Amino acid sequence: MTVPFKYLIFLVIITLQVLPSAGRAQVHPLLQDFSGYQQGNKVFLRWTFRSGSLCEGTRIERSADGLFYDEIGEIPGICGRPDVAFTYTFSDSTPLVNTINIYRLELGSAGFTSNLHIEYLVEHNDGYSLHSTGNDVELLIPYPPARSGFAQVYTITGKLIEEFGFIDRRLLLTENISQSGIYIFSLQYENGAVLSGKFVRP
């Protein structure tokens, strides 16, 4: 997502409490919370039953579109505790790559939780990866050094052709580039960190 730089400060304020690789679902009547986050090459899920909340078995499901789900795990038997709040964790070691993974729990006869959205991005040795679709090239940064920054795109000869503010781990680099060729990007983060590299616009 790109925004005009003059509006960036307002969006930064709004999103200060949002972790870029974490998510939280709406609360289910049996649960205190249902959340998850990316760490390394896995997605970790965590949910806590309210004290006195019980169900018969828990199934963990994942979807790419929110319509069709696959079961990726199960915790059999009685779930929850009659006396204290109780927390479960689950590790998804095969999340869908460079996209949003949609998770939900089936809590026995208590039905499904609301959807939990976790974006899972992979990185290469330089801390980022490039993803091409048609003529578009996206820059994916799983663990950015800060929440926001300013991006510049240059031709291979050093001519500046685009600049914009960003607040995301996923940046479209070719939005205003129509010619094929090799280009250079430079990201300057709010904490002074710099990330740069090259990409090819097909």
> What's the CATH code of the domain at 187?
2.60.40.3080
Strands (E), the chain: 2-3, 22-24, 31-39, 42-49, 55-63, 69-79, 86-92, 99-107, 116-120, 129-133, 136-140, 149-155, 160-166, 170-172, 181-189, 194-201
Domain count of the fold of the chain: 2
End position of a domain, from candidates 67, 98, 120: 120
End position of a domain, from candidates 120, 151, 172: 120
- The arithmetic mean of pLDDT across residues 163-173, rounded, is 92
Largest CA distance in the chain: 68
CB proximity list for 86: less than 8 A, separation 6 or greater: 48, 49, 80
Query: Is 186 in the same domain as 162?
Result: yes
- The arithmetic mean of pLDDT across residues 135-159, rounded, is 93
What percent of the chain clears pLDDT 90, i.e. is strictly above it? 76
- 14, 91 contact by CB (below 8 A): no
Query: Is 52 in the same domain as 111?
Result: yes
Q: What's the pLDDT tens digit per position in 170-196? A: 999 999 899 999 999 999 999 999 999
End position of a domain, from candidates 120, 147, 165: 120
The boundaries of the domain holding residue 83 are 22-120
Residue 5 has pLDDT above 70, yes or no: no
Query: Is 111 in the same domain as 150?
Result: no
Residue 25 has pLDDT above 90, yes or no: no
Residue 160 has pLDDT above 50, yes or no: yes
Query: Is 102 in the same domain as 138?
Result: no
Query: Is 49 in the same domain as 116?
Result: yes
pLDDT at 21: 57
Compute the distance between CA of residue 174 and CA of residue 191 in angstroms, rounded to an integer.
Answer: 25
Query: Is 27 in the same domain as 56?
Result: yes
- 162, 177 contact by CB (below 8 A): yes
**Which helix (H) or strand (E) is 9 found in, with range?**
helix 8-14
CATH code of the domain containing 44 = 2.60.40.10
Structure tokens at 37: 């986050």
Query: Is 87 in the same domain as 142?
Result: no
What percent of the chain clears pLDDT 70, i.e. is strictly above it? 89
Query: Is 84 in the same domain as 168?
Result: no
Query: Is 141 in the same domain as 81?
Result: no
pLDDT at 58: 97
